[in-house]
Amino acid sequence: MPEDHVRKIFKQTRDLVGRLHPDDDLDIDDVRGNLEAAGFDTAKLRIRLHEAASELTRACRRSGKPAPEYLKQVREATAPLEKLPSDQRKAIDKMKGWIGSLGKPVWPSSDLKVARAYRKSGAVSESDRAKLDELESKLKERAKRSDEPES
């Protein structure tokens, strides 16, 4: 039964990737960017994939069968950074990817919401409140312009 569930998830994932980017020559950054653009949290997806692969590996062991090599590879590739792969080359590749991701820009969500905690303190004057409202509207307008596609 778990295999049917995994196959269903893989099919849904392949269908989603096909809709997001119909080309077959995707690299990891394209996939990650497309998933994030579609609103997915790739860090949470990685954690869920690792948990699912780990559970499938445990199920194989309980049934007395060795886990397939691809499951081991998925578990190592999606493991938390604290857990390095057993193979030194794979560990170095994982660290290179992690270090490379540090230099990538982090874009805020397009669903920008302004925290309005200052209004509850009661210590904001009318002129300050007006200025904060003006700054908030400018920020929202700037965010809206940056999200619009360029013509």
Please report the pLDDT score of residue 37 as a whole number. Answer: 81
pTM of the model: 0.44
Q: What is the pLDDT along the chain (151 residues), one digit of tens a residue?
A: 567 777 888 788 777 767 766 666 667 777 778 788 888 888 888 889 899 999 999 998 999 998 888 888 888 878 887 777 777 887 787 778 778 777 776 666 555 555 555 555 566 777 877 888 888 888 888 877 776 665 4
Please report the pLDDT score of residue 113 as a whole number. Answer: 58
Please report the pLDDT score of residue 51 as a whole number. Answer: 92
Please report the pLDDT score of residue 63 as a whole number. Answer: 92
Please report the pLDDT score of residue 120 as a whole number. Answer: 56
Other CB atoms within 10 Å distance of the CB of residue 56: 19
How far apart are alpha carbons 63 and 13 in whole angstroms? 27
